[in-house]
Structures are given as C-alpha cells and as structure tokens.
Amino acid sequence: MKKKATALMVLFMILSGTFLYAEVTNSEYYPKTMAINRVFPHKDGYRVDYIKSNRTLGTVYCPTEWFQKAAGYGEIVYGQGAQFPYATFYYKDGKIDHFRLYLVSDFNDVSWGVFREENADEKFSISELIIEY
C-alpha cells in the first residue's frame, strides 16, 4: 500500500511538472538581431552599417523622427560591453514593426564614425526600413 501511494505521488509530481513546461506562449513578433559595424550620426538621423549574413556590409539610413516618440518605430539603447553595438528588428506580418539600436555609450569608441557624405538629406527621407540579410 505504501509503495502504491509513493508511486502515485511520484507520477502525480512528474505529470504536474510536465504541464508547467507544456504551456507555450506565441508572440506576434519575430525578432532578428544583427551586429553593427559602425554608426554615423547626421543632423537628419543615423547611417548604420551592419554586418549581413554573408559577412558583407549593409547600410540603412534611420531618420531622427523614428526615435523621437516613446514606443515609436525606432529606439536607441546605450550601454557598454562586448556585445555592443548591435540591432534587433522586430517583424510582424512579414514587415519590420519596430527596431532597437544598442549602441556604445562612449562616442569615442571605434563603432562611432564621422558622416562625410555630401547631399545625404534625401537618403533620410524614407518611411520604412528595409534590411538586406
């Protein structure tokens, strides 16, 4: 009788623990993280050079309007560490819903560059971010 009660208790504990792990939460967002090579600040926004999956550089232009309001299209998080700088893009229904740039807080770091392009104003007049992987 004691063995049956112990076996029943163990079985109950195993099954109740399994149900805790069986709950799956599905998010409507799909995050994609990429390393950033360099960031170039400009009066109209940021030029971000990121590392694509084939180890070549891709470039995106991010207007300052995307970062100006809370819960906007873009967000900048400053910090220190070996993982900085990087970017996370959150996809919803196959399009970028919002993104975060995790940048080094020290502007003297090698990840910060000087923007030297002429007539770049039109490159910042975009409404949607398109990333090449």
For residue 22, pLDDT beyond 60: no
Residue 50 resides in a domain: yes
**Containing domain of residue 57, as a range?**
30-124
Q: Is residue 91 part of a domain?
A: yes
On whether residue 10 sits in a domain, the answer given is no
Is residue 97 a part of any domain in this protein?
yes
Residue 24 lies in a domain: no
Task: Please provide residue 7's backbone torsions phi and psi, each rounded to the nearest 5 degrees.
Answer: -65, -40
Q: Total structural domains in the chain? A: 1
pLDDT value, residue 13: 64
* pLDDT tens figures, 30-75: 999 999 999 999 999 999 999 999 999 999 999 999 998 876 889 9
Residue 73 lies in a domain: yes
- What is the model's pLDDT at position 27? 80
Chain segment 88-125, per-residue pLDDT in tens: 999 999 899 999 999 999 999 999 999 988 888 888 88
Overall average pLDDT of the 24-28 stretch? 76
Residue 38 domain-assigned (yes or no): yes
What is the reported pLDDT for 128? Answer: 85
Q: What angle do CA 14, 18, 19 make, to 5 degrees?
A: 125
The secondary structure of residue 93, as a DSSP letter, is T
